[in-house]
C-alpha cells in the first residue's frame, strides 16, 4: 500500500508561516497557532510542506488502509486560511451556523480572516472535532 504523502517533518513552522503568510494572514496564523495549541495541548509541527499540525492519531479504514494524521491543523492558501476539522454532528453543524463568514468542505474550514469568525465558536468546533477523532481512533 502507498505511504501517505502528508507526514510529520522537521521543517520550521515559523519559516513556513513567514514564507507563505501575507501581512494580513501572519497575525491570524499566530492566533490560530495559540488556539489550536490550547485545544490540543500539543506543539505545532509541520506535516508535509504546507500543514501546521497539532498532535497526531493513527487511523485504519475498513479497506485496510491505515496511517497517521494530525488531530487538527491549518494551512495558508493564496487568499484563504484552512483549518482541518470534522464537523459532522448536529452540535458541530449548529456551531458552523454561528461561526461567521466561512466555507466548509468535507474536513476543511476555509475563511479569509479570523476577524470574520467568532473565535470562541471556532475553539468549540476544534475541540469537538478533536474529541470526535479521539473517540473514533483512540
Whether 5 is covered by a domain: the verdict is no
| Residue 5: pLDDT over 80 | no
Provide the whole-model pTM.
0.92
Residue that the C-alpha cell 474550514 belongs to:
109
CA 108 to CA 65: how far, in whole Å? 21
Tens-digit pLDDT profile for residues 80-102: 999 999 999 999 999 999 999 99
Whether 3 is covered by a domain: the verdict is no
Tens-digit pLDDT profile for residues 101-134: 999 999 999 999 999 999 999 999 999 999 999 9
Q: How many structural domains are present in the chain?
A: 1
Q: Which pLDDT score is estimated for 25?
A: 97
Whether 73 is covered by a domain: the verdict is yes
Whether 7 is covered by a domain: the verdict is no
Whether 47 is covered by a domain: the verdict is yes
Residue 50 exposed, middle or buried by CB count within 10 Å (0-12, 13-18, 19+) = middle
Whose CA is closest to 99, among 81, 111, 85, 107?
A: 111
Whether 102 is covered by a domain: the verdict is yes
Tens-digit pLDDT profile for residues 36-82: 999 999 999 999 999 999 999 998 878 888 889 999 999 999 999 99
CATH number for 45: 3.90.1150.200
Backbone angles phi, psi at 84, to 5 degrees: -90, 120
Which residues form the domain of 47? 13-137
Amino acid at each position: 500500500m502507498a505511504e501517505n504523502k502528508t507526514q510529520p517533518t522537521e521543517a520550521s513552522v515559523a519559516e513556513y508561516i513567514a514564507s507563505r503568510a501575507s501581512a494580513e494572514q501572519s497575525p491570524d496564523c499566530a492566533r490560530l497557532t495559540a488556539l489550536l495549541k490550547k485545544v490540543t495541548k500539543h506543539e505545532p509541527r509541520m506535516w508535509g510542506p504546507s500543514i501546521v499540525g497539532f498532535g497526531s492519531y493513527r487511523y485504519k479504514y475498513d479497506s485496510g488502509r491505515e496511517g497517521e494524521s494530525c488531530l487538527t491543523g491549518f494551512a495558508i492558501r493564496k487568499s484563504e486560511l484552512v483549518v482541518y476539522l470534522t464537523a459532522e454532528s448536529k452540535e458541530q453543524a449548529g456551531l458552523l451556523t454561528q461561526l461567521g463568514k466561512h466555507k466548509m468542505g468535507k474536513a476543511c474550514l476555509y475563511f479569509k480572516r479570523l476577524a470574520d469568525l467568532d473565535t470562541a465558536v471556532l475553539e468549540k468546533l476544534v475541540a469537538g472535532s478533536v474529541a470526535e477523532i479521539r473517540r473514533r481512533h483512540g
